[in-house]
Every structure is written in structure tokens, then in C-alpha cells.
Structure 1
Amino acid sequence: MKNPGLAYRKKEFKTGNVVAALFLISFFLTHDVYAQKQPPAAKPLTVLDSMMVKQLFFSAIREKTIENTKHAAEMFERVLQTDPANDASMFELANIKKGQNDYAGAQPLLEKAVSINPNNEWYWAALADSYEKSNNINKLEHVFNQLIRISPEKPDYYFDKANAYVILKKYDDALKVYDQLEAITGTNDDILASRQKIYLKQGKVDQAAAEIEKAINNNPGQMRYYLLLAEIYNSNGLADKALKVLQQAEKLDSNNGMVHLALADIYRDKKNNDASFNQLVLAFSNPDINIDQKVRIISGYFPKFPDAGAKSSALELSRVLTVAHPADAKAFALYGDMLLQNTKYKEAKAAYKKSIELNNQVYAVHEQLVRIELSENDMEATIKDGENALSLFPNQGWMNYMVGVAWAQKKDFKKALGYVNNATSLEIQDKDLLSLSFSLLGDCYHSLNDNKSSDAAYEKALTYNPDNAYTLNNYAYYLSLRGEGLDKAALMSARSNELQPNTPSFEDTYAWVLFKQKKYAEAKVWMEKALAHDKENSSAKYEHYGDILFYLGNTDAAVANWKKAKGYGDQSPALERKINEKKYIE
């Protein structure tokens, strides 16, 4: 099993790092690499051999610097053939092998290097790395003993030695190392935390707690120790003790946000939701707690939506967020989202506008604002804020579509076409947007009397979503007005009513298509459905109903419905003629 890894700072150099390579050369020169102590049985190098070794070594370093590691390795091996005790070449060759993840090949080279030059810290550090990477943890004790011997002032080596003991589950030995380190550096948080982790691994919760309590006694104003002690108790099933510690901390520092967050967790675990929420409010009121941490907490409520309590809590916390972070656009954006979830549209718009005022570079906030404005039929605001967004983010398909919708609603179909065509050219993956955009193009082209382009756009829309009820309805209605493709129109209109039953405008369309097909009895049934479901007293529907009744031979009823249509606002000359002449006028 792979060990958790050690913390020591590895001393090898990256291949290709010119500065590091030059430093290494100077290091070896100053340490008299070429005047190394030879093993007793080694044959002394001749002057010629010594010069050749020196030249090969520097050539190998150059090759390594330009990342020609294969050639460099060959040269280092040639050095070792001539000078088997050349520890510098062993070190360099080992580093090349480590770079190739060949730790098994690097290990014997480094072991020999430290046997030749036992006072070289770099060699021992590289050997420690090799042992760790190859999971030879049991060999690390000796290595770190040597590193501590060479550099007794470096805390890293003590921590690494202790960590090796922990991996080997020699917990008491690790604790002794921390005692040695404490004698050198004095007590610090790293030693404290390391000790308490070992005690917890040993199941000695009381001793782990005692370590932290000792720190609290020495530093009663340091809240981090109270938080650490509470975490030890809480994670070991001692919630009451944890709560007592945190309450003590709260008395000492009532403005500490982290203490309030910890208390919120404890109260939540104890099912005291009101107390937990109150602690969250106190924590959120503290601007010193990172806003991202607060955002994550609010996000934790999202899976509970649409529960009213969860939405209400998230809303209040997001409101507090804006008070604590009044200059952060993220706070107001989140507040806007929560207001939207709670159907407070007016307030949501204000929050989104404030967020944009603080930072206009977040497109999603612009889109949320414009979507609300469009849903409220505020076309002026949709155009104003939408075009502002497009000045910053011109390539956003949905924004182009929404602005196009607003211009179409204002009957400026040529402007609408420009924006909607942009939407279709910018977005090739979003089938929903493409379906809606081509459907809107169909509406615009129809209004501009370009029937050919209108039909083509509707057909395109249906390729992306054949069950878009609005597209089916509009296409069918416009075909019926022209008296073209009535069989196709009937199929599309019938389908729209299947998809979205009891929709009066869809029922009216189907009745009108049937009327155009001279299926007057069926048309009457569907028109009566439309009138039954219509809550707006549409003059067009009453006029259509009168038309159907006329062809069914009920002239008096037809005239009565035409008069109703006039009473509900239809003042067209054709309707006036129908009433006066008591007959259907095309």
C-alpha cells in the first residue's frame, strides 16, 4: 500500500534548469568532488584519468541541462567506469533514474554515494526521497538520523522522521522525536497538532485533549485552540464536552465567526435547528469569515428546496451576507438568486442590479436580471439591460434571443430579426434555444409578410424540437389564415392540444383550422372549449364562434356572438359588416 508521503524538502534539481545545474557544479567544486577519499582497495587515478573524468562530468552536466538525459546518463556511467568512487556522478545518475521513476535503480547509487561521502546532506535527502517513493519506509529512520546529524537545526527532518514512525505505527517513537524537536524549537502549533494526531490514532482522546488544554492554559485568548479541542471532542462522540468548550470560547470572544460556525454545527447535530441558525447568522455577520465559505454553507440548503423553511433560511443568510460584504458583487448575486427562489422578483432585480454595479463582468447575473424583466413583460427594461449586457458579452445566444423577443413584442420585427439571427449563429449545441429562436424567426417573418421565410423557420424550429407546442400552434394558425397546407396544419394543431391541453389559444387555432377545412361541427366543439377555458373574453374567439355558427345555419346566434366580439373591443370594418349584413364576411 502506498504510504501517505513525507514532508521533507527534496534537494534534487530539475533537469534542464540551467541555474540549478551551474549551482550544483559550483557546489561540487567547493566540496572538492574530484579529490574524494577513495575506497581502500581503489587504484589511484592517473593524472590523465583524472582529467578525463573531470571533462566527462562537466559534459554530462551540460547534456543534462539541455534535457538530453540519455546521453548525460551514458557519460555519468563512463565516469563511474573510470572512477567507481565518484559520488557526484552517482548522485547525478540517480537523479536521472528518479526522473524516469526508476527508484529501484536510483537507490543503490545513492546508498553508495552516502557511504563514500556521508556528510553530504543532498545525498541523504535524495536517498530519503527514493526510499519513500519505493515504500521502503523502514529504512528511513537511519536516513533521517543522518540528516539530523548533519543539520540538527532543521525542524523538517525531525518532522519527517516522526512521520516515518507514524507510517510504521511506531507512535511512541514518534512522540519521542517531537520531544527532541520541542527541546530545540520550543512548543509550537505544528508539534502540538502532530502530537494530538498520534494520541488520537492510539485512541487516547484524553491525552490528545490534554495537549490542547495545556495550550489553552498557556494562551487563553487563542481561539484556534478552543476550536481544535472542540473538534477533537465532537469527532469522538463527545458533543457535550465540545459544546462546553465552544460556549467558553464564545464568552471570551463573542465576535469570533469560526466559533459561531462550530457552534452551529454542534447545535445542528443536536437537532436544535433554531440555535444552529442563530449561530449561522452571527457567523455570517462577521466580515472576517471568507465569503466563499459562507456561499458554500448557503449552497448546502439548495438540495432541500423547494422546502419553504430551507428557502427562507437561505434567503435570510444571503441577506446578512450583503450586510457583511457590501462591496462584494458575489453577495448580491447570491441574494438575488435566493430572492428569486422565494418569488420576490422586484427585490431580486434590485439585488442583481447592485451586483452588476459592483462587478459587471459576470454574465450569469445579467442573464438572470433580463429573464425576470422579460417574464414581467417589461420590454423597455429588457431591451435596455439586455443591450447593455450584449455590449459586454456580444456572443451570448440567450441574451440575443431575449432582446429579440422584446423587440418583437414592440412590433419592431426587423430589429428582432437581427438579434434572433445572432442567437442562431452563435449557438449550435443548445437545441432548446435553437428551437425557440427559429420559432420566433417564423413569427417575425410572418409579420413582415415573408411567408416563405416564415415557413422555413418554423420547419427548422421543429427539427430541433418537434413537440414545441407554441411553434406547432403558430405555424398551424398562420397556414390556416392563408388557407394553405390545412391537413398539415390540422395535425400540428391537434398535437399542440395534446401536448398542452385546455389552452384556449391552442383550442381556438384548432377550431379555426377545422373551420377552414369546412368541418363546422367539429370546429364548434373546439371553439366552445376555447371559450370555456378563456378567462380574458377574447373578441377574436367570439368572432370565430359566430363565423362557425353562421355556417351551421344559426344566423341569430352568429350575430349575437359577433356583437359580443364588438363589445369586447373588436372594431374592424369586416366585423361591422357581419353584424349589419348578418352574414359571414371573409
Structure 2
Amino acid sequence: MTATDSAMVKQLFFSALSAKTIENTTLASELFERVTQLDPANDASLYELAILKKTKNNYADAQTLLEKAVTVNPDNEWYWTALADCYEKNNGIDKLDNVFNELIRIHPDKPDYYYDKANAFFYLNKYDDALKVYDKIEELTGPTDDLLANRQKIYLKQGKVDLAAQQLEQMITADPSQIKYYLFLAQLYSSNNFTDKALKVLLSAEKIKPNSGLVHLALADVYRDKKNVEASYNELTLAFAIPDLDIEQKIKIVLGYLPQFPDPNAKASALELSRILTVAHPQDAKAYAIYGDMLLQNEKLKDAKAMYQKSVALNSQVYEVQEQLVRIELGDNDIEGAIKDGENSLSLFPNQAWMNYLVGVAWLQKKDYHKAVGYIKNATSLELQDKDLLSQSFSSLGDCYHDLKDNKSAYEAYDKALTYNADNAFTLNNYAYYLSLTGEQLDKAEKMSKRSNELQPNNASFEDTYAWVLFKQKDYKGAKTWIDKALANDTTKSAGKIEHYGDILFYLGDVDGAVDNWKKAKDKGDKSPVLERKINEKKYIE
């Protein structure tokens, strides 16, 4: 090139770099192309242009450019590494040997390039060649776990379990206190069905380090493979009691019992192991959370509640634990606790739809309907996909509006609930009962109440509702049939059902029977003026 051409090349090159810097890759590519046209041996431009091709996944053109670049400048490490990447992407694994030879020539003391070369041999199934490279690496670095693992991989590919075991035995002999080599060897034997040999190795390791959680876990696996369930479980209990063993690994083991539920032995084992977790990790919220989960699975609700409370006290940033706690409190009728813990949770997680719903239900049970409506409406605005939540939320809104004497809003809410779940038995029952109280849409009420009893047969409350709907339809014989069922299934013999029985008997012409049942309802605690009038006047009164 003339001096003028040389100056132009430099100017174009630096202009191309500037365009690349500001991410104008189109202009940069054009400028680098012009450089290579003026100066085909400009290796820097060939390299830069190749890199731009790679960013667009054009590895074929990038490979051609890089092959030219290394021909011009064979001592540039970055050219060769970029070319190696192209060969990998273009399935040119067979060409990698030469690339890594050149990189080793440039950096003979860099182990990474030897490893890359050995990996290339491995993918080409040239296992003996790969082993020779690992021998060279060992001369550079001495024995390492990486070398051990890579050689093991090759020996197992070759089916040479004895050589793999021999290598590990040599590591154990060189450093008998290193438990990890015993574990590697035991795993090798176990995975190749030599369980007796694996057990022998692990028992040796246990003597050297009796408080190794990993050894006890490995022993548990071996005993399980040998069908010795009791010994396997005993090893697990020893492992779980060791604080140094990672709690996450222990939790995975506990959760592994879940698919075996409801087998009582599996449930008992998971429960005891999770209890041991709280002893070994007394300051870890996860330990109490998983113990709470297992107590819940074993229907020990009071104890589960205490564990969830401890978990939340240690770490208030796990929403799922708080939801479980509030659900248990609601189920246990601890309304004050549900409101307190639920509102604390919402101060941290205000956008959790289920928690808004649960707190709303707690206020509903406390008969503060305005607060209940606020929380439950929040739930419906925060969740648009969960049909179960939406059905329950609108159903609860219906209950709230009914108690607020807003029947129109109540019926709209119930209708909305049924659009999300037409077979929500509680919605069907409540909606039907409230319609029957006002005498509205009795045909609709009858169909809904009948369906609720089909969904949940022998439910005394639902049967009572159906009896009352039929009563309002003046089907007194049908009403008598269903109130008999309700009383048979009602272990408490509630005052309301007994009063309904009296009402039905009155219209069936049994006035004495009606008065007797009204008196029984009064004795059960019903002190309403209307009931008193029924008794005194010996007739049904709305």
C-alpha cells in the first residue's frame, strides 16, 4: 500500500471502532469490510468483523474471517479463542485439537487450555488421548478434584469401574482424613450396584468422622438400597441432628416423603425428622415452617400454629408461612389472632389476594361487615384468574351484603360467585335460604338448594334450607321429609331446625306437635318474640 492508502486504512479502522463503541454495528461492519478490501492482511479488522458477525449468530462467516486472522497473526490468543468458539458452534469439534495446541503453544502454563483440549477429545470419544492431556495437567498443577472428576468421567464411559475406584483409593491413601474421597468412592460403588463395597467404605469414613452429616446421609441411601428401612431412617435422624449439614438438603429429604402420604409411617417419619430440624437449627425460620407443615399434615393444628408463629417471628418475609398461620387461626375460630396476624401480613404484602380474603372472612365472622366488605373487595380486584378465590370472595360478599340488609347487592354477589363456580355448595345453600326468607324467586331457590344437597349429601344445614324452601312453596309433605333428614343428621338438634319442624307440622294439621317443637326450640335457647307468640297463640306466625 502507498502511504496514502495506509493512512486511509488507519482512519477507516478507527472510525469503525468508534461506530462499534456507540453500537452502530451496521456502519462498523461496513467500515471494517472496506478496511479488509484495501488491506486483506489487516488481522485486527478481520477479527473485529468476525466478532460483529458472531453477535448476529453468523458463525460461518465469522469462522472464515478468523481463519484468515490466525494465518496473518498466529500468536494472538484472542483470535484463537474466538475461532474455537466458532468451531464449537459450527460442529467443528474435530478442528479444535489444532486450536488448543496453538493456545498451549502461546500459553504453555495455562491449565484451562489443556482442559479445553481434553474436553474436545472427550466429545470425540478419544478417551485415551484425553487421559494423556490430564496427565500433562497434573504435571502442571498436581492432583486436583477437577482432574479426579474428569478422569472418573472417562473411566466410567469406558466401563472401567475398577480403574475409577483405584484412583479414588489412591486419593484416600494419600489423605485418609479427606471424607469427600470416601463419599466419591461410595457413590461410585452404589451407582454400579456394589452396595456392600459402598457400605464398607462409608463405615470406614464414619469411624474417621462420626459427626459428618454427609456420611450419615450416604449411609441412609445405602441402607435403603439394601431394603433396611430401619437402619436407613436411623442414619437420617443422625444426619438431621448435625447443625453443620445444610438445612436446605434436609428439607428436600422431608419433602421427599410427601408422595408417600397418607402412609402413616411416612407421615410419622417426616414429622420426626422435621422436629429434629428445629433442634439442630433453632434460629432458622425454615425449620419451624417445615415442622409446621408436617404437623398440619398430621392434623396437629394447635402445634402447627405454634410452629408457624415461631417461623414468622424469626423471619417475617415469607408470605406463604403467614397465610398458613392465618388459615389455621380461622379454622380454630381464633378470630382475633387471624385479624392481627393477617393485617400484619398485609402491611408487608398488601397485594396478596388470598390474605385480603382471609382477613375479610375474619371480620365477617366478627360481624364487622363494613370492614369485611373492604378486604374482600380488595381480594376480587387483586385476583382475576383464580376462580376458586373469586367464587369464595363474591359468595362472602353476598353474606356481608345480606347482613347489611342490602339484598340487591347480596344477590348480585351470589350470582357473580356462581359464574366462577356453579357448584359452590355453600353459595347455593346461602343464596337459596336468603331468597326463601323473603319469598323471592322460590323456583330458583328450590333448584339451587336441591343442587347443594346433591353436592353435599347428609349436610343438616343444607337439608334444613331445602325443607324451608319447600315449606315456602307450600309443599309441606316434601318439607317434612327434608326436615326429618336435617334433624337426623344434626347432632346438636339446633333450635332453628326444631322451630322449622314445628312450623311444618302446623301446616300438616298437627298443632299439638307444632307447639311441642316450638317449646323445645325455646328450651334450646331461642328467645324470639315471634316464637313466643307461636307458642301462646298456637299458630304459625311469619
Range class of TM-score, shorter chain:
over 0.9
Q: In the alignment, what sits opposite 2:201?
A: 245
Q: In the alignment, what sits opposite 1:322?
A: 278
Deviation at 1:403, TM superposition (A): 2.1
Aligned equivalents of 1:483, 1:352: Cα separation in 2: 47
Aligned equivalents of 2:29, 2:16: Cα separation in 1: 7
Aligned equivalents of 1:446, 1:81: Cα separation in 2: 85
Q: Percent identity?
A: 70
1:102 aligns with 2:58: yes
Moved more, 544-553 or 403-412: 403-412
Query: For residues 67 and 494 of structure 1, do their structure 2 counterparts lie closer, same or farther at Cα, with a shift above 3 Å needed?
Result: same
- AA paired with 2:289? A
Q: Deviations over 1:134-192 (max 9, x none)?
A: 22222222222221121111001111111111222222222222222222222222222
- For residue 79 of structure 1, the aligned residue among 17, 35, 53 is 35
Question: Structure 2 matches for 1:395-434, cutoff 5 A?
Answer: 395-434=351-390
Question: Structure 2 matches for 1:152-301, cutoff 5 A?
Answer: 152-301=108-257
- AA paired with 1:156? D
- For residue 383 of structure 1, the aligned residue among 329, 339, 344 is 339
Moved more, 403-412 or 199-208: 403-412
Q: In the alignment, what sits opposite 1:7?
A: none
Deviation at 1:50, TM superposition (A): 2.1
Question: Structure 2 matches for 1:528-547, cutoff 5 A?
Answer: 528-547=484-503
Structure 1 stretches of 5 or more lacking a match?
A: 1-44
Q: In the alignment, what sits opposite 1:21?
A: none
Aligned equivalents of 2:383, 2:152: Cα separation in 1: 56
Q: Point out which structure has higher relative CO (alpha carbons under 8 A, 6+ apart).
A: 1
Q: In the alignment, what sits opposite 1:492?
A: 448
Q: In the alignment, what sits opposite 2:322?
A: 366
- AA paired with 1:581? E
Deviation at 1:383, TM superposition (A): 1.6
Aligned equivalents of 1:514, 1:189: Cα separation in 2: 80
Q: In the alignment, what sits opposite 1:14?
A: none
Deviation at 1:356, TM superposition (A): 0.6
- AA paired with 1:579? I
1:143 aligns with 2:103: no
Deviation at 1:352, TM superposition (A): 0.5
Deviation at 1:203, TM superposition (A): 1.4
Aligned equivalents of 1:574, 1:91: Cα separation in 2: 97
Query: For residues 485 and 154 of structure 1, do their structure 2 counterparts lie closer, same or farther at Cα, with a shift above 3 Å needed?
Result: same
Q: In the alignment, what sits opposite 1:446?
A: 402
Q: In the alignment, what sits opposite 1:10?
A: none
1:126 aligns with 2:78: no
- AA paired with 2:200? K
Deviation at 1:217, TM superposition (A): 0.8
Provide the aligned length of Structure 1 versus Structure 2. 542
- AA paired with 1:477? Y
Moved more, 512-521 or 151-160: 512-521
Aligned equivalents of 2:65, 2:405: Cα separation in 1: 86
Deviation at 1:468, TM superposition (A): 1.7
Q: Deviations over 1:259-315 (max 9, x none)?
A: 122112111111111211222222222222222222222221111122211111111
Q: In the alignment, what sits opposite 1:46?
A: 2
Aligned equivalents of 1:123, 1:376: Cα separation in 2: 70
- AA paired with 2:315? N
Q: Deviations over 1:507-558 (max 9, x none)?
A: 2122222222222222111111111111101112222211221222222222
1:564 aligns with 2:525: no
1:468 aligns with 2:409: no
Aligned equivalents of 1:389, 1:108: Cα separation in 2: 61
Query: For residues 180 and 475 of structure 1, do their structure 2 counterparts lie closer, same or farther at Cα, with a shift above 3 Å needed?
Result: closer
Deviation at 1:70, TM superposition (A): 2.9
SS at match of 2:61: helix
SS at match of 1:50: helix
Aligned equivalents of 2:357, 2:78: Cα separation in 1: 64
Q: In the alignment, what sits opposite 1:93?
A: 49
Aligned equivalents of 1:331, 1:179: Cα separation in 2: 46
- AA paired with 2:263? D
Deviation at 1:233, TM superposition (A): 1.5
- AA paired with 1:304? Q
Query: For residues 107 and 464 of structure 1, do their structure 2 counterparts lie closer, same or farther at Cα, with a shift above 3 Å needed?
Result: closer
Query: For residues 158 and 515 of structure 1, do their structure 2 counterparts lie closer, same or farther at Cα, with a shift above 3 Å needed?
Result: same
Aligned equivalents of 1:540, 1:405: Cα separation in 2: 24
SS at match of 1:147: helix
Q: Deviations over 1:362-385 (max 9, x none)?
A: 111111011111111121212222
Aligned equivalents of 1:399, 1:200: Cα separation in 2: 53
Q: In the alignment, what sits opposite 1:575?
A: 531
Deviation at 1:106, TM superposition (A): 2.5
Aligned equivalents of 1:489, 1:103: Cα separation in 2: 71
Query: For residues 246 and 86 of structure 1, do their structure 2 counterparts lie closer, same or farther at Cα, with a shift above 3 Å needed?
Result: same
SS at match of 1:109: helix
Runs of 4+ in 1 over 4 A off after TM superposition: none
Moved more, 233-242 or 103-112: 103-112
1:508 aligns with 2:451: no
Query: For residues 577 and 212 of structure 1, do their structure 2 counterparts lie closer, same or farther at Cα, with a shift above 3 Å needed?
Result: same
Structure 2 stretches of 5 or more lacking a match?
A: none
Deviation at 1:212, TM superposition (A): 1.1
Aligned equivalents of 1:231, 1:113: Cα separation in 2: 47
Deviation at 1:251, TM superposition (A): 0.9
Query: For residues 497 and 226 of structure 1, do their structure 2 counterparts lie closer, same or farther at Cα, with a shift above 3 Å needed?
Result: same
Q: In the alignment, what sits opposite 2:262?
A: 306
- AA paired with 2:167? E
Deviation at 1:238, TM superposition (A): 1.4
Aligned equivalents of 2:348, 2:447: Cα separation in 1: 44
Aligned equivalents of 2:359, 2:64: Cα separation in 1: 72
Q: In the alignment, what sits opposite 2:505?
A: 549
- AA paired with 2:537? E
Q: In the alignment, what sits opposite 1:356?
A: 312
Deviation at 1:422, TM superposition (A): 2.3
- AA paired with 1:222? Q
Aligned equivalents of 1:84, 1:335: Cα separation in 2: 71
